[in-house]
Chain A
Amino acid sequence: MSTSLATLIADIDRADSPERLIAAVQALAAARLEGGIPTLIRALGFNNPGAAVTAVKGLVQMGEAAVMPLLTLLDDYNYGARAYAIRALAAIADPRALDVLLSAAEADFAPSVRRAATKGVGQLLWLKLADSERAIAQSRTYDTLVRILDDADWSIRYAAIAGLQALGQSTPDLQPQILETLRTLADSDIAVQARVQWAIATLQSPQPVPNSFPGSQTPIPNP
């Protein structure tokens, strides 16, 4: 295995065109080797969107194993790479990423990153936390999402409602509070209002909303 890992990494470093680079990152991702994780993270910073998206997919497939490397190798200086890392962490949904996702949700300067983090933080896999930490983490997430409801950007507020809905679905203890917040929310934007209505309907019905159509692929962890 180690020879093939070394070869796969060497192929990435040898790639002399954007297409070959994407293919090499793809090959490393497909091998699903833990030893390849740092190189996949490095690929987030190659300034090649195709390679970065491929690497994000590979990291998400690695799941939990990729979380600590992503957190420790998070690039504070390369904004592009950081955005992809945040997206990967949001998709893996491991609660060890909580602090990083909360600060990205509140303060990243790229709206696309804020949206991904804001939605993602609501659907973390809370059961992976120790009992003693869980309620605190969930309540911090709630507080942050509620603050984000005041954002000037409709799309960020929209993401916060998606995040609150997911949090309500995964956290029965917070559901009454979240429903109350949503019911009393007066948003000026018609799209945000619609999302609020949908979130309320979803949280109120144990079954999928009558109108929701099959084929929706928004995975919402509901332990």
Chain B
Amino acid sequence: MLDGTSETQFEESTAVSEATGAEALTVEQAIANLSHPDTSLRYYAAWWLGKFRVSDPAAVDALIAALRDESDRTELGGYPLRRNAARALGKLGDCRAVPGLMECLGCEDFYVRESAAQSLGMLGDASCVPALLGLLAGGVAAAIKVPGRPHLAQPYEAILEALGALGAVEAVEVIRPFVEHPLQRVQYSAVRALYQLTEDAAYGDRLVAALQSDDINLRRVALSDLGAVGYLPAAEAIATAATENSFKLFSLKGLLERAMRQSPHSLSADAVKVMTLMDEML
């Protein structure tokens, strides 16, 4: 993810302090606020519904409607409310949001496209795979920076990661060239997706190697990627990576979840090994 790594990793940790520090809402208020005349209240309500995973159908309907909001615009023509609504819908687990999110993949606002791609990856409905693949048209050659903006033509990291999460094996050949993209973050996203789609350890090991990067932000991204794919051979390398314990703890959690899914009825040696390392990160 572009800049979502630290946000998502620490989001759960800070849920309580933010809930008490920020304006307290009820579910009804938050849904009502999505159509409040004050755009900042709408923006906050969309974030709040996602944060507290309010999967009430009325909340989902209101957020889907907010994906077409025209009233809240930034100076550069962005759609802040659409961005937050798209992000929130990914967390609510209701696949009714898929058509609206797919429409958002064509939005002129890069960040709306990015949020939609991330959420489509989370919802697990593979019907959006062709639409995601459409954004990779032109391949690596087209994946260049937009002049004057801090981002590439498309949210490649989010798209690649979503394709991996959705199990889009038909996308493997389209994804593979992105392993050589000039930006390391895009490379990692491609590697992460390819590991999920092929289970080839060479891709997992490439993420492990990324833990040695000179750039702490890239090391954090690699930790997040390894956690997302649950690459168990990475356990020790994660525990000894040169980053904060919290990042390592969250990464190891992904490995533990993978180990538990592989062996749901008993504690496997892998699970105990990962928990031993997690205990040291507390």
Contacts and interface: CB of A to CB of B under 8 A. Distances in A.
Interface string B244-276: 111001100100110111000001110111011
Contacts of A112: 244-246
Nearest to B17: A109
Contact of B279 (A119, A152, A156): A119
B26 interface: no
B245 A162 contact: no
B267 A158 contact: no
A111 B14 contact: yes
A207 interface: no
A155 B279 contact: no
Nearest to B268: A211
B267 A211 contact: yes
Interface string A124-161: 00000000000000000000000000011111101100
Nearest to A153: B13
A182 B213 CA distance: 40
A223 to B, nearest CB: 20
Contacts of A46: none
Interface stretch (A12-20, A36-44, A172-180, A188-196): A188-196
Contacts of A213: 269, 272-273, 276
A216 B44 CA distance: 45
Given A111-B14, A194-B260, A194-B271, A218 B276 contact: yes
B76 interface: no
Number of contact residues on B: which range applies? 20 to 34
Contacts of B282: 115-116, 118-119, 155, 158-159, 162
B55 to A, nearest CB: 14
Given A119-B282, A198-B272, A153 B12 contact: yes
B241 to A, nearest CB: 15
Contact of A218 (B10, B245, B280): B280
B256 to A, nearest CB: 5
A99 to B, nearest CB: 20
Interface residues of A, number: 31
7 contacts: A112-B245, A116-B282, A119-B279, A195-B278, A201-B267, A209-B272, A212-B276
Contacts of A2: none
A212 B277 CA distance: 11
B93 to A, nearest CB: 14
A198 B13 contact: no
A211 B259 CA distance: 13
Contact of A153 (B15, B256, B257, B269): B15
A209 B269 CA distance: 10
A198 B273 CA distance: 11
A153 B16 contact: yes
Top-7 shortest CB links A-B: A111-B13, A119-B282, A115-B282, A216-B276, A211-B272, A152-B16, A211-B269
Interface string A23-40: 000000000000000000
A78 interface: no
Interface string B4-27: 000000101111110100000000
A111 B272 contact: no
Interface string A200-211: 010000000101
Contacts of A191: 253, 256-257, 260, 278
A72 interface: no
Contacts of B10: 111
Contact of B267 (A151, A156, A198): A198
A18 B158 CA distance: 38
Nearest to A200: B267
Contacts of B14: 111
Contact of A194 (B12, B13, B15, B267): B267
Contacts of A211: 267-269, 271-272
A217 interface: yes
A107 to B, nearest CB: 11
Given A191-B256, A194-B267, A217 B280 contact: yes
A190 B275 contact: no
A151 to B, nearest CB: 7
